[in-house]
Amino acid sequence: MVRKIWGKSDTILFIFAGASAEFALNKAVDWLYFTGKLPADPLARLFSTVQYARKIVFASEADAIKAINMMRQIHTAVEKSRGFAIPDWAYRDVLFMLIHYSIASYELLERKLSASEKEEVFNVFYRVGTGMGLTGLPFNYPEWLPVRNEHLLADLQLSAFTSDLFKQYKKHLGSIRFYVLLEAQKLVVPTTVKELLHFNNLPLLKPVVPAYKFSRLFKMDRLIKKLLLPPAYLQQVNELDFHP
């Protein structure tokens, strides 16, 4: 199930549209300002993160473990450079985002997932979390739901980092694409995020989604992506469509 979700550029773009909104609110977002990579070029950061995630999802178990270990080493080096550790709850927040937005994006663009399919998505990212040494993780999807809600209430806030990140998104995307990003975010972010970002309850893309899904039957989706996405990243987006 996770390979189906992460094997399509459409779903991945919505996953990171939603995550870009939520992470801008996270109380630990200052860590990405410490390295400077996210505010300097959020799109490049997006694609580097996507590549790591896809390495884990599509690799053999041994290679996935290697990728997870490499990711942990990168974070450990940043922690040593700054002089203190990234809090465990911040790692869990990122893991929880991957679970939530994987499910929400697939359900938006494809179909509703069954309880067992949601459990499968949770289990994959649970193994990623335990592989990175995270503790305090819920053991299954039903247990995860209230914990996820607790994290949303405890770990998000509107801050100067939030405002600056959205300015950087706009700077790198341009006004029209930035507006599309905001409308896409409204479709997948949870209520807590919508309220903190003062999103209205009128997602203008909602009636467009069925038309877009229909366009894929005639291979028109690539043309739409070409019109909407920055030309410099179009090839990378197209490469996200996984062909077994």
pLDDT tens by residue, 69-111: 787 787 788 778 888 888 889 889 999 999 999 999 999 999 9
- The pLDDT value given to residue 182: 96
Domain hosting residue 19, numbered range: 1-238+240-244
Q: State the Cα–Cα distance between residues 240 and 54, nearest whole angstrom.
A: 9
Please state the φ and ψ torsions of residue 26, each to the nearest 5 degrees.
-65, 140
Q: Is the pTM of this model over 0.85?
A: yes
The DSSP secondary-structure symbol of 216 reads G
Count how many domains the chain has: 1
Of 151, 130, 209, 192, nearest to 28 by C-alpha is: 151
What pLDDT is stored for residue 81 in this prediction?
86
Question: What pLDDT is recorded for position 242?
Answer: 66
Residue 178: predicted pLDDT? 94
What pLDDT, on a 0 to 100 scale, did the predictor assign at position 154?
97
- Express each pLDDT in 9-36 by its tens digit: 899 999 989 999 999 999 998 877 877 7
Contacts 24+ apart (CB under 8 A), 125-129: 125/2, 125/95, 125/98, 125/99, 128/56, 128/68, 128/95, 128/98, 129/91, 129/92, 129/95
Low-confidence ranges of the chain (pLDDT < 50): none
Q: Please give the distance of CA 136 from its chain centroid, rounded to a whole number.
A: 21
